[in-house]
Amino acid sequence: MIFKKKLTVIGLCLGGGGARGFAHLGALKAFEEYGINFDMVAGCSVGSCAGAFICAGKSFKQTYNIAKELQVKDIKRNKIKFMPSSTEGLEELISNNIKQKNIEELPKKLFIVSVDAKTGKEIVFDSGSLSKAVAGSCAVPGVFYAVNYNNMTLIDGGVMNNIPADVLRKRGCDVVITVDVNSTRGGGTNSDKFYDIFLASIGIMMKNNSKQGYLYSDIVIQPDMKRFKSSKLDGYEAMVEEGYNATVSAMPEILKLIKSKRYRLWKRNKRKNMQKL
C-alpha cells in the first residue's frame, strides 16, 4: 500500500526582534546543512521578512548577501529623529529581491501575522501583496507608521502574537520548530527617556503574548542575543553565528523528534489502511 499523504508536516515559526533577525539567517544556514525542509512558515515582524525569503526559495547565501548590505537608513527613512518612519524601505527590500509579488505565488506556504488597528484583531495573511503584508507585520508603533492596505490599518503582529506557532498548528503541522531571536524581550530599561520607556513597554507586552507561542512549539531555538540591539545592525555577522550555533545545538533533538513523529504517523496510517482491506 502506497501512502500519498506526506507523513510529517513540518512548520517553521520565526518570531520578531528587529535587527536581531539576522539570527534567523544563521538558523537557515543550519537547516540547509542538515537537510531539513519545512512545508510551511509562519512569521511575525522581522520573522515575516525572513520567512518571505525562505518561502521564495532563497538560500542562506543569497539572503545573507542581500542582508549584509543593508543599512539602517535603507529601512528607516524618517527625516526627523525619533519620529516614525514610512515602511517604503521594507517594501522595497521585498519587492526588489523577490520576484513573486503575492504571497500565494511563493513556492512554499507562508503565513504573515499582523494586527489591524481599526478592529484590534490579529490578521494572518496567506494571500495578497507580499511586500505590504511584510511591511504591516513589521510596523512597530512609534518606529514605523501603520500600513494602510485593503481597508486595514496594519501594525506589528507582535502586538498580539509575536511567536505565531499556533498559526502553523491550526493549519495541520505535526511538528513546529520555533526560532525566537528576542527571548530577552520585556527586560525593561534603566533609561527615563520617553522613547526608551515606550519601546520597553512594547517589549513587556510582547513578552506576555509570546508565551502561547512557546506552548504551541515542539522545540524553541533561543540564540543568545542579549548583547545586540534590535535597532542596530552592528555585529550582524555575530548575530548570524549565534543563530547558527543555537540551531546546531538543538539539531539532535530536532532530528530525533522528526524521526519519531514520522514513524508514529507511518504506523498509524498503516493500521488505518490495513483496516480498510
46-84 pLDDT per residue, tens: 999 999 999 999 999 999 999 999 998 899 888 777 789
Gap between the Cα atoms of 176 and 140, Å rounded: 26
Question: Is 231:144 a contact under the CB 8 Å cutoff?
Answer: no
Q: What is the pLDDT of residue 164?
A: 97
Comparing 230 with 188, which gets the higher pLDDT?
230
Comparing 147 with 260, which gets the higher pLDDT?
147
Gap between the Cα atoms of 20 and 239, Å rounded: 7
Q: What is the pLDDT of residue 140?
A: 92
Q: What is the mean pLDDT of residues 4-27?
A: 89
Least confident of 14-23, 157-166, 226-235: 226-235
Q: How many CB atoms lie within 10 A of CB 109?
A: 17
Query: Which percentage of the chain shows pLDDT scores above 90?
Result: 70
- Alpha helix positions (H), the chain: 22-33, 46-55, 60-67, 72-75, 88-95, 130-138, 165-170, 194-215, 236-276
Q: C-alpha 150: how far from its chain's center?
A: 22
Annotated active-site positions, please?
A: 45, 156
Gap between the Cα atoms of 193 and 177, Å rounded: 37
Of the candidates 106, 230, 212, the residue with the CA atom closest to the CA atom of residue 164: 212
Gap between the Cα atoms of 265 and 256, Å rounded: 14
Question: Is 18:230 a contact under the CB 8 Å cutoff?
Answer: yes
111-142 confidence digits (pLDDT tens): 999 999 999 999 999 999 999 999 999 999 98
Grid cell for residue 111: 503565513
Of the candidates 45, 36, 47, 37, the residue with the CA atom closest to the CA atom of residue 13: 47
pLDDT band at 202 (very low <50, low <70, confident <90, very high): low
Average pLDDT over the chain reads 89
Least confident of 48-57, 74-83, 143-152, 196-205: 196-205
Q: Could you tell me the pTM of the whole model?
A: 0.89
Grid cell for residue 239: 548575530
DSSP string, 224-267: --TTS-TT--TTHHHHHHHHHHHHHHHHHHHHHHHHHHHHHHHH
Question: Is 37:8 a contact under the CB 8 Å cutoff?
Answer: no
β pairing state of 219-221 and 175-179: parallel
pLDDT of 4 over the 50 cut: no
